[in-house]
């Protein structure tokens, strides 16, 4: 196989094909889907809207990918979003300058993530359970910060983070893009990505190989918390308010779904940050598609469930065996059953 | 003292201490009235938690509980109001649908070998979406049967009322405990939670047991949905959001190991009561806001998980019941 085919291969992945199909479907349902216009110094159009609304889930999915790659899961991201958003909104009403607001809420997100990491890495609690604690208690914490109210603020600097535009592109998209690029290079151009995969494949083996898996795990959960903090900030700045009960509700599930669609194995050891982001865009394109097609938004959940089931069937062992049997036969290692 | 019972005893001690603390502050809480309300208010949670106990002891998880509760509530309301079914017939249909739904999830988990967590997540989306397609509004149910049921109660000494749904929860716990601790199926559940491979080698019918476990869980969630609709006299697609977490919390606080293979039905009952106690205390206090419930439950969850960890470690050192942690 020559090099060019190898390089083109990611472009032909099922995720990209699925995304193109969904976009095509959206275009058939709503012919103006690909129209992008320039108004008030920024781009407008359904496509931009998909990216803009998909940004928070994409950001969560970046953190979630690294966590899932270590064979973990972070259920607390939605609640952490609420915590960070509540802190930002409360500080903004208090008239604090932007850097203080940003740093405090991001630090809170990081702190929540580090707490999860501590439970997982040091106390050796299953990730699913460890992050459940913060998922339950996090919304309570957020309400503690907002004192049970829906805090609204009027700080143009902070709301720029959610609604502003940079060279005509929404800020949320810019932030997500920077995060994705930075994460991708940090993981794939250094050994960190390999370390993560090593932990996900077999943690004790990674330890014996000299990896400091404890510190790395804490850092990864911290990173996921930080991503949740960023997403929380964007959502809060977007609606100019913090609702401790509803901010980020169910987004942990969307983020996990995005990662799964992106082909990252839930069993750890194999991940792709970029594909997870594609997964997040697919989810948002489906949401938008359901909206523009005039179907009631309730169908959203049913369609999502259908997509998860379809992916599970496709990823399951038996179906995979059928597909890979020809490929495996070509390579010499025929360890599987004849 | 048998090491096995340690988490259960711990839960019991914490419950008694917490109750004593509450009573010392508000003597009014020491009455059958409060106790009766405990049972009535938490009936749906308790019934759902019985199913979750089976699932968690088998080493799985069911995130679709709350959604199934919402779905059955709406389905029952639509069947009674829209199609003129008798409530009992509507209940039977709803329970049948819920059971099939659970069995389907179990089959997915068993035959596709995917984590239970992701399958039941899809189930949650499906049930919530299905409920909101049936009806997005809250449908009030004003059938005479509903009024008759809510008027039925047993007078307890001290003025407390044992409602029908409270009694139903106690009955569910009793049957659940019998099935879990005294039947062959119950020991299969423990065997699955201990180690699927050894269970299979010992001749446990793994596929059938897995499917039955999830069918039971959804059946009980459906029953909880019916109880919830009796309790609120309405069906609403967004009812009981997040109840799956409360149910999981109750099970964990009750000392059941989330890794599977260990736990007691009685513990879950105490876990549900402890959550009810926290809520009642907050209502009695009046100055505390309801968000404290979440924080306290989160804290309890944390304490019990750490406790499990410690007991688990000592048990591993002293006994041969070693289980691979990956």
Q: Is the dihedral of CA A56, A60, A63, A69 positive or negative?
A: negative
What's the rounded Cα separation, in Å, for the pair B312 and A224? 28
Q: Which of B129, B278, B299, B308 to mutate to test the interface with A (most CBs of A within 10 A)?
A: B129
Query: What confidence tens digit (pLDDT) does each residue in B140-199 have?
Result: 888 888 888 887 888 877 777 788 888 999 999 999 999 999 999 999 999 999 888 899
Q: How far apart are CA A88 and CA A241, in angstroms?
A: 9
DSSP B189-231: HHHHHH-HHHHHHTT--HHHHHHHHHHHHHHHHHHHHHHHHHH
CA angle, B66 as apex, B65 and B67 as ends, to 5°? 90
Spatial distance between the Cα atoms of B51 and A194, rounded to a whole number of angstroms: 40
User: Which residue of A140, A141, A301 is in closest CB contact with B125?
Assistant: A301
Would you call B316 an interface residue with chain A, using a CB distance cutoff of 8 Å? no
pLDDT by residue (tens digit) across B202-245? 989 999 999 999 999 999 999 999 999 998 888 888 787 778 88
Radius of gyration of chain B (CA): 20
Question: Is B119 at the interface with chain A, CB within 8 A?
Answer: yes
Q: How many CB atoms lie within 10 A of CB A228?
A: 37
Structure tokens given for B297: 């439950």
A130 part of contact set with chain B, CB < 8 Å: yes
Model confidence at B3, pLDDT cuts 50, 70, 90, reads low
Residue from B113, B127, B298, B299 to probe the interface with A (highest A Cβ count within 10 Å): B298
Dihedral of CA B4/B10/B15/B16: which sign? positive
Residues sharing a CB contact under 8 Å with residue A211, sequence separation 6 or more, in sequence order: A195, A198, A199
Q: H helices within B113-195, ranges in order?
A: 116-134, 144-151, 164-182, 184-194
Pairing of strands B153-155, B139-140: unpaired
Q: Phi, psi at residue B213, to the nearest 5°?
A: -60, -50
Chain A within 8 Å of B303 (Cβ-Cβ)? no
Q: Is B289 on the interface with A (CB under 8 A)?
A: yes
Instruction: Specify burial of residue B287 (Cβ count, 10 A radius: 0-12, 13-18, 19+).
Output: exposed
Joined together, the tokens standing for residue A35 give 């129209």
Q: If we measure between CA atoms, which residue out of A257, A282, A305 comes closest to residue A19? A: A282
Record: contact A253-B245, CB cut-off 8 A = no
Residue B324 corresponds to which tokens in the numbers above? 């691979």
Within the 145-164 window of chain A, which residues sit less than 8 Å (CB to CB) from chain B?
Answer: 148
Considering only residues 283 to 312 of chain A, which have any Cβ-Cβ distance to chain B shorter than 8 Å? 296, 298-306, 308-309, 312
CB-based contact A220:A66 (threshold 8 Å): yes
Q: Are A295 and B132 in contact (CB under 8 A)?
A: no
- Minimal C-alpha gap between A253 and chain B (Å): 8
> A102 CB contacts (<8 Å, ≥6 apart)?
A88, A161, A233
Report the alpha-carbon distance of residue B202 to residue B196 in Å, rounded.
Answer: 10
Q: What is the pLDDT along chain A (338 residues), one digit of tens a residue?
A: 445 544 555 566 777 888 888 888 888 877 877 778 787 777 778 888 889 889 999 999 999 999 999 988 898 999 999 999 999 999 998 888 999 999 999 999 999 999 999 999 988 887 877 887 888 788 888 988 888 788 888 888 888 887 888 888 888 999 999 999 999 999 999 999 999 999 988 888 998 988 888 999 999 999 999 999 999 999 999 888 888 777 777 788 889 889 988 888 777 778 899 999 999 998 898 888 887 777 777 777 788 788 777 777 776 655 555 555 544 444 434 344 33
* C-alpha closest to that of A46 among A213, A293, A240: A293
Share of chain B above pLDDT 70, in %: 94
Residues 14-73 in A contacting B (C-alpha not used; CB under 8 Å) = 71, 73
Give the pLDDT of residue A130.
84
- Encoding tokens for residue A94? 């208090």
- Yes or no, beta carbons of A300 and B299 under 8 Å apart: no
pLDDT computed for residue B266 by the predictor? 93
Angle formed at CA B253 by CA B251 and CA B254, multiple of 5 degrees = 60
Which residues share a beta bridge with B162?
A: B154
CA pair distance A58, A64, nearest whole angstrom: 10
Chain A CB within 8 Å of residue B249 CB: yes
Question: Residues of B with CB below 8 A from A314's CB?
Answer: none
- Within 224-243 of B, beta carbons closer than 8 Å to A belong to 237
pTM here is 0.81
DSSP character at residue A13: S
Helices (H), A262-316: 273-292, 299-315
- Minimal Cα–Cα distance from B264 to chain A, Å? 19
Instruction: Flag whether residue B132 sits within 8 Å of chain A, measured between CB atoms.
Output: yes
Q: Which pLDDT score is estimated for B296?
A: 83
Contact A276, A258 (CB under 8 A): yes
Tell me what ipTM this predicted complex has. 0.72
Bridge partners, A37 (sequence order): A44
CB A37 within 8 A of CB A50: no
């Amino acid at each position: 196989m020559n090099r060019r085919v190898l390089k083109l291969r990611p472009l032909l992945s099922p995720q990209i094909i699925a995304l193109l199909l969904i976009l095509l479907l959206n275009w058939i349902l709503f012919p103006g889907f690909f129209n992008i216009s320039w108004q008030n110094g920024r781009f407008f159009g359904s496509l931009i809207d998909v990216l803009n609304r998909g940004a928070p889930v994409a950001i969560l999915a970046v953190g979630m990918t690294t966590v899932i790659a270590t064979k973990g899961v972070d259920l607390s991201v939605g609640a952490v979003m609420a915590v960070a958003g509540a802190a930002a909104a409360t500080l903004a009403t208090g008239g604090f300058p932007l850097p203080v607001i940003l740093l405090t809420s991001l630090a809170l997100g990081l702190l929540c993530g580090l707490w999860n990491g501590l439970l997982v890495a040091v106390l050796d609690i299953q990730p699913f359970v460890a992050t459940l604690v913060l998922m339950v208690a996090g919304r309570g914490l957020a309400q503690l910060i907002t004192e049970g109210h829906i805090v609204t603020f009027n700080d143009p600097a902070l709301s720029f983070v959610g609604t502003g535009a940079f060279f005509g592109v929404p800020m949320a998209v810019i932030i997500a893009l920077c995060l994705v690029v930075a994460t991708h290079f940090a993981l794939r151009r250094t050994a960190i990505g390999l370390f993560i995969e090593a932990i996900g494949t077999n943690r004790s083996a990674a330890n014996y190989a000299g990896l400091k898996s404890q510190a790395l795990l804490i850092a990864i959960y911290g990173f996921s918390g930080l991503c949740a903090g960023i997403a929380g900030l964007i959502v809060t700045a977007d609606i100019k308010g913090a609702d401790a009960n509803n901010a980020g509700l169910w987004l942990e599930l969307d983020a996990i779904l995005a990662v799964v669609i992106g082909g990252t194995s839930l069993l750890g050891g194999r991940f792709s940050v970029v594909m997870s982001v594609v997964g997040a865009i697919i989810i948002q394109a489906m949401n938008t598609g359901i909206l523009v097609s005039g179907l009631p938004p309730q169908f959203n959940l049913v369609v999502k469930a259908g997509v998860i089931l379809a992916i599970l069937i496709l990823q399951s062992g038996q179906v995979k065996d059928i597909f890979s049997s020809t490929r495996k036969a070509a390579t010499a290692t025929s360890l599987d059953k004849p | 003292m048998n090491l096995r019972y340690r988490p259960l005893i711990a839960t019991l001690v914490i419950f008694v201490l917490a109750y004593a603390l509450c009573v010392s502050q508000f003597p009014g809480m020491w009455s059958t009235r409060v106790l009766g309300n405990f049972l009535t208010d938490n009936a749906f949670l308790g019934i759902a938690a019985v199913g979750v106990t089976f699932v968690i002891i088998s080493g799985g998880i069911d995130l679709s509980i709350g959604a199934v509760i919402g779905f059955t509530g709406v389905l029952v309301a639509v069947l009674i109001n829209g199609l003129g079914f008798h409530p009992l017939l509507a209940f039977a249909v709803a329970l049948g649908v819920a059971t099939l739904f659970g069995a389907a999830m179990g089959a997915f988990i068993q035959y596709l070998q995917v984590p239970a967590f992701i399958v039941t997540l899809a189930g949650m989306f499906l049930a919530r979406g299905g409920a909101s397609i049936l009806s997005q509004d809250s449908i009030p149910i004003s059938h005479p049967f509903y009024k008759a049921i809510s008027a039925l109660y047993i007078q307890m000494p001290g003025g407390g009322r044992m409602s029908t749904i409270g009694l139903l929860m106690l009955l569910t716990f009793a049957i659940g405990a019998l099935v879990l601790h005294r039947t062959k199926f119950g020991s299969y559940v423990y065997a699955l939670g201990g180690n699927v491979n050894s269970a299979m080698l010992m001749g446990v019918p793994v596929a059938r047991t897995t499917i039955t476990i999830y069918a039971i869980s959804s059946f009980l969630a459906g029953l909880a949905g019916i109880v919830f609709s009796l309790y609120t006299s309405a069906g609403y697609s967004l009812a009981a959001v997040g109840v799956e977490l409360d149910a999981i919390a109750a099970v964990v606080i009750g000392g059941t190991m989330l890794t599977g293979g260990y736990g007691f039905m009685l513990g879950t009952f105490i876990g549900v009561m402890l959550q009810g106690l926290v809520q009642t205390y907050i209502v009695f206090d009046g100055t505390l806001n309801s968000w404290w419930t979440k924080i306290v439950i989160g804290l309890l969850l944390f304490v019990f998980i750490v406790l499990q960890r410690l007991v688990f470690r000592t048990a591993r050192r002293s006994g041969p019941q070693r289980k691979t942690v990956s």
